[in-house]
Amino acid sequence: MSEIIKTQAIVLGKMNYSDSSLIVTLYTDHNGKVPAILKGARSPKSKLALIVDTLNHIEVIFYKKESRELQIVSSADLISHFPNIKSDLESTKYAFAVLELVRNLTIENESNSRLFKGLVRILEHFENKKESPSILFARFFMFLITETGYEIMIDKCSICGKELTPEFSIGYNFSTGFICNECLQSHSGFEKIESELFKFLYCLKNKKFLNGLKVTTIDEGNSFLERYVKEHIPDFKGIQSLEMFK
Ligand SMILES: [Zn+2]
């Protein structure tokens, strides 16, 4: 028995399969991450390959059968192909890194409509150049870390419970988490996180607007989040898309 599903989706990636087919990874509103096949989509007569292209926001109909590894796409309509992202190298680089994170940090067929909506919203922000691509990427990275169950506790010192404020530098290590400046002075085994970097992470976590950030702080923030995920998910190999475009 297969079920017919109609849902919105973002195309996370694609690859050629056999002479004429395509295999794609979709992040869908109703079914989470879904690997699927588009049979015959590479024939010149088919428009499906243009619609179901990496990054595109689509509405898709597929036949779902639990026992099958690849679901079969029967048709798709385009909602947006984000032309402004695709015509700007920096936006492309970070938007592809967003797709890569979703591909690598979510589980197949585990639905999370909030994550889907967050993904669409961040791509729209990239498209409308709401903030710089590297900050938008960092915002999504922090959001995804929370959505996948690895929330960064950044509000209170893990040792004394005092509220952390972005005016001071703080300490961090993997097993304890973040600690206040005073505890940092009296405990060993912590690295110091400068207040600029902490302020950035704090604003990402608390969804505050940021301006006047140094590029180096943004890069350090993204590196920190990447390392944080590596510490919690040993299978995570880091973000290839950012390396590829260097
Ligand atoms: Zn403390």
Examine the pLDDT at 242 and tell me if it is beyond 90: no
* Separation of CA 154 and ligand 1 centre (Å): 12
Q: What is the pLDDT of residue 241?
A: 87
Is 25 a member of any domain? yes
Give the list of residues 6+ apart from residue 81 with CB closer than 8 angstroms, or none.
Answer: 53, 55, 56, 57
Report the 10 Å Cβ neighbour count for 192.
13
Domain range for 40 is: 1-81
* Separation of CA 185 and ligand 1 centre (Å): 10
Whether the Cβ atoms of residue 135 and residue 106 lie closer than 8 Å to each other: no
* Separation of CA 231 and ligand 1 centre (Å): 22
Is 158 a member of any domain? no
The tally of CA atoms less than 13 A away on the side-chain side of residue 131 is: 19
Is 42 a member of any domain? yes
Position 212 confidence tier, pLDDT thresholds 50, 70, 90 = confident
* Separation of CA 164 and ligand 1 centre (Å): 8
CATH, residue 28: 2.40.50.140
List the one residue out of 203, 243, 209 whose CA is nearest residue 132.
209
Taken in order 129, 132, 134, 138, is the CA torsion positive or negative? negative
Average pLDDT over residues 72-94: 97
Q: Please state the domain count of the chain.
A: 1
Is 27 a member of any domain? yes
Is 178 a member of any domain? no
Distance of CA 111 to the CA centre of its chain: 15
Is 159 a member of any domain? no
pLDDT tens track for 144-167 = 999 999 999 999 999 999 999 888
Q: What is the pLDDT of residue 243?
A: 79
Burial of 186 (0-12, 13-18, 19+ CB in 10 A): exposed
Q: What is the pLDDT of residue 246?
A: 56
Position 245 confidence tier, pLDDT thresholds 50, 70, 90 = low
pLDDT tens track for 15-50 = 999 989 999 999 999 999 999 999 999 888 889 999
* Separation of CA 237 and ligand 1 centre (Å): 32
Is 54 a member of any domain? yes
Q: What is the pLDDT of residue 232?
A: 92
* Separation of CA 168 and ligand 1 centre (Å): 12
- The backbone torsions φ and ψ at residue 67, rounded to the nearest 5 degrees and listed phi first, read -75, -10
Is 12 a member of any domain? yes
Whether the Cβ atoms of residue 33 and residue 106 lie closer than 8 Å to each other: yes
